[in-house]
Amino acid sequence: MADRFRALGGEILTGRVPEGAAIEDGRVTEVHVEGRVIPTSYVAWTGTVHSLARLLDLPAPKVSYLALVCYYMTLSDGPPHDFQWSYHGTSDIIFSRISVPSNFDPANAPPGKRAICVEVSCYEGDEQYEHPERILDRLADDLVRERVLKSTEEIESVRFERFAWAYPVYHLDYRTELKRFDKSLASVKNVLRAGRLGKFWYNNMDHCVGAAFAHADKIAANLTGTPSKKEVAA
């Protein structure tokens, strides 16, 4: 997909953070990215609602996201785990979910080894997020308690990755906060919120793909002046 996009003259910038935007007549006309000025017809935003509010100088909604630390554990050879996902809701267990990457694709584990990905929910800036290495012993013990491992000695190596905004948190007034934000964002006509972060919507990959097609169809119809597929169907 990236190759096709570039062949059509597109450019993909990764690891860059938008620093600002220019708005004229209710439309974002350009986005500033690390010294570059990029003209815009549409902005599809998949970052957090807070970062979008900062970019457009709008009041941010009072909502929050749950963070996640994923521990990827390489295990010694042994009986394979026969599940893809496993959820753990006991209050005294530190992790919430386990996945077995090799059950999605055998290439996701080293040859002759097993692997699991253990997820620990937290908040950005708290102890578990800032120092994930400090709970490794408890994590290993809990895996044995939950019978995911027979012994902590099965663990050969561990590496972890932080995700600051993994899940939207649905406080009782989150809908009111989002409606207030939607109302302020309505003054900017060419910004489309997308994805779990941008929509503040606990969705799955199939929902993301469907929403992406809908956004692409809307943008293409508006840029070319042709009716969208839904309008043709109607």
Task: Report the C-alpha gap between 160 and 158 in whole angstroms.
Answer: 7
DSSP designation for 77 = S
User: Is the domain of 101 the same as that of 162?
Assistant: yes
- Cα–Cα distance list, 48 to 31, 61, 149, 167 (Å): 17, 11, 36, 11
User: Is the domain of 101 the same as that of 165?
Assistant: yes
- Tell me the pTM: 0.83
**Per-residue model confidence as pLDDT tens for the chain (234 residues):** 999 999 999 999 999 989 999 999 999 999 999 989 999 999 999 999 999 999 999 999 999 999 999 999 999 988 788 899 999 988 899 999 999 999 999 898 888 889 999 999 999 999 999 999 999 999 999 999 999 999 999 999 999 999 999 999 999 999 999 999 999 999 999 999 999 999 999 988 888 889 889 989 988 888 876 655 554 443
Is 72 part of any domain?
yes
User: Is the domain of 43 the same as that of 78?
Assistant: no
Confidence (pLDDT) at 148:
93
Query: Into how many domains does the chain fold?
Result: 2
In 3D, which of 88, 89, 91, 162 has the Cα closest to residue 122? 162
What range defines the domain where residue 156 resides?
65-169
Four-residue CA torsion sign, 136, 138, 143, 149: positive
Sorted by sequence, the CB contacts under 8 Å of residue 222 that are 6+ apart come out as 42
